[in-house]
Amino acid sequence: MSFNHLGVFAPLLANLKKLDFVTPTAVQEKVIPSVLAGRDVLATAQTGSGKTAAFMLPLLQQLVTSGAKVQSNQIRCLVLVPTRELAEQIFQASQAFSKNLPVRLGVAYGGVSINPQMMRLRKGLDVLIATPGRLLDLVQQNAVNFYALNHLVFDEADRMLDLGFAQEINQLLRVFPRKKQTLLFSATLSDRVAELVKVLLQNPLKVAVNPINQAVNTVTQKIYTTDKKHKVDLFFYLLEQHAWQQAMIFVKTKKSAEKITGLLREKGLAVDSIHGDKPQAARLKALDSFKQGRVHYLVATDVAARGLDIAQMPVVVNMDLPVVAQDYVHRIGRTGRAGETGLAVSLVSADEVELLLAIEQLQGRNFNRLEEPGFIAEHRVPATDLRLGVKKKPKKPKVKTAIDDPHSRIHLGDAFNQTPKVKNVRSKPSFLSGSNKKK
């Protein structure tokens, strides 16, 4: 199968050749012909499966072949995404796909000045990639209208809802035109996404490229159990043992992101962080440095868990497990992308057993648990059973705990104990009423 067979036209084929896109991925194969035919699509595709091209190529083709001219402050195609990083990434990919094509693209997200975004919209755009909050700001400033909107994409729809964008989405749905083509992509499906699907899509093509809620099968997943206070030491031990040259390290809170970054830096490692408290410019710089290889370790909160595409990123470390099990799938999806192999290592302490169980249930399997001598948990992580839940009585430790790591003596203590704040959202009026409460 080739992109040509899927109906992709010559100007795009030329650009794909330059990008080395020879064979369409599964999601591209299934989605492109239907999008070209104007159908709505609901796709549950694994992260890293090539979904950006799956929606952007046929949309660009439609925009070019229809020949319509866009007027001031109008947009013809809108891609809504949950995070600034994802917006930037899709924008860059779309620019590469559309080289030499007569289309104007733009990107809009918060954390940076709105003025250049307004200026760019003044002449109208064929494609706007935006986060919901900033898009609403632009609507309120009359910088954008939706009279010419023909194509709408929701990317990472579940994430948008998890991040508390339900209210913004409701407001936007009221101003979008009724007649348009809508594509909804979600790496994982939840009940709330199903509600959104009901409101948004008409007779959609339903595509599930890989089993829903399954982690990428090119990623080897390893679970190390230890005590919370020994996680950092165990991490440094594993880092040295396995000589991880590049890794993305996920933590729960901004505070622990900063702490871990500091500890890695103290050891002379090239490290940066990416989390919600950092100005957008600093976040982009950190990501870029990591992608270019100037920075070898990137410490991140879940703001960075989805969508980011970092070529040949070999290792993801979960210093603590995410509160939402589906975020685990997204975190580990940062590695093993585009058919490469990857390793995801999670350090799990007893207090996280419920989170571990949720992840195991999501994947329909129990993980083997690994231990490293010297880091064996005093507070054993209770056994889990996919059907029965957490087995109440933890086993007594087999080996006496002895922390003998020569590499580090620093512990993060309670820094991992906090749960992230989820933005509160109004529940009415809403297609999601009752379900978008603060978690």
Cα(315)–Cα(322) distance, integer angstroms: 17
| C-beta closer to ligand AMP: residue 31 or 75 | 31
- Using CB under 6 A, pick the residue from 309, 352, 360, 405 that binds ligand AMP: 309
Cα(196)–Cα(431) distance, integer angstroms: 7
Cα(252)–Cα(355) distance, integer angstroms: 12
| C-beta closer to ligand AMP: residue 338 or 388 | 338
Q: Give the count of beta carbons closer than 10 Å to the beta carbon of residue 370.
A: 13
Question: Stretches 23-31, 206-214, 220-228, 295-303: which one binds ligand AMP (CB under 6 A)?
Answer: 23-31
| C-beta closer to ligand AMP: residue 23 or 292 | 23
Subset of 333-352 contacting ligand AMP (CB under 6 A):
337-338
Cα(10)–Cα(226) distance, integer angstroms: 55
Distance of closest approach, residue 337 Cβ to ligand AMP, in angstroms: 5
- Using CB under 6 A, pick the residue from 53, 129, 251, 376 that binds ligand AMP: 53
Distance of closest approach, residue 317 Cβ to ligand AMP, in angstroms: 21
Residue 52 binding ligand AMP, by CB under 6 A: yes
Cα(27)–Cα(380) distance, integer angstroms: 42
Distance of closest approach, residue 220 Cβ to ligand AMP, in angstroms: 19
DSSP 415: G
| C-beta closer to ligand AMP: residue 281 or 338 | 338
- Using CB under 6 A, pick the residue from 25, 167, 221, 430 that binds ligand AMP: 25
Distance of closest approach, residue 100 Cβ to ligand AMP, in angstroms: 19
CB 48 within 8 A of CB 336: yes
Cα(82)–Cα(78) distance, integer angstroms: 13
Distance of closest approach, residue 298 Cβ to ligand AMP, in angstroms: 17
Tokens 């906090």 appear where? 418
| C-beta closer to ligand AMP: residue 96 or 139 | 96
Subset of 164-203 contacting ligand AMP (CB under 6 A):
none
| C-beta closer to ligand AMP: residue 97 or 244 | 97
- Using CB under 6 A, pick the residue from 6, 12, 15, 24 that binds ligand AMP: 24
Distance of closest approach, residue 394 Cβ to ligand AMP, in angstroms: 40
| C-beta closer to ligand AMP: residue 50 or 133 | 50
CB 190 within 8 A of CB 326: yes
Distance of closest approach, residue 300 Cβ to ligand AMP, in angstroms: 17
Peptide bond into 279 cis (omega under 30): no
Residue 49 binding ligand AMP, by CB under 6 A: yes
Subset of 2-21 contacting ligand AMP (CB under 6 A):
21
Question: Residue 326 corresponds to which tokens in the numbers above?
Answer: 């589906």
Distance of closest approach, residue 19 Cβ to ligand AMP, in angstroms: 7
Residue 55 binding ligand AMP, by CB under 6 A: no
Question: Stretches 24-32, 135-143, 249-257, 381-389: which one binds ligand AMP (CB under 6 A)?
Answer: 24-32
CB 353 within 8 A of CB 384: yes
| C-beta closer to ligand AMP: residue 291 or 379 | 291
Distance of closest approach, residue 270 Cβ to ligand AMP, in angstroms: 23
Cα(127)–Cα(146) distance, integer angstroms: 12
Question: Stretches 51-59, 199-207, 373-381, 402-410: which one binds ligand AMP (CB under 6 A)?
Answer: 51-59
Distance of closest approach, residue 6 Cβ to ligand AMP, in angstroms: 10
CB 221 within 8 A of CB 365: no
Q: Which helix (H) or strand (E) segment is 87 a member of?
A: helix 84-97
Residue 248 binding ligand AMP, by CB under 6 A: no
Residue 62 binding ligand AMP, by CB under 6 A: no
Q: Give the count of beta carbons closer than 10 Å to the beta carbon of residue 133.
A: 18
Radius of gyration of the chain (CA): 22
Cα(67)–Cα(188) distance, integer angstroms: 35
CA distances from 420 to 84, 256, 278, 438, 439 (A): 18, 11, 16, 12, 10
Distance of closest approach, residue 3 Cβ to ligand AMP, in angstroms: 8
H helices present in 247-319, as ranges? 254-266, 280-292
Which among 328, 330, 386, 377 is positioned nearest to 357, based on CA atoms?
A: 386
Torsional class of 434: left (φ above 0), alpha (ψ -120 to 50), beta (otherwise): left
Q: Which helix (H) or strand (E) segment is 95 a member of?
A: helix 84-97
Beta bridge partners of 273: 299
| C-beta closer to ligand AMP: residue 61 or 167 | 61
Question: Count residues contacting ligand AMP (CB under 6 A)?
Answer: 14
- Using CB under 6 A, pick the residue from 31, 35, 48, 121 that binds ligand AMP: 48
The residues of the shown chain that bind ligand AMP, judged by CB under 6 A, are 21, 23-25, 28, 48-53, 309, 337-338
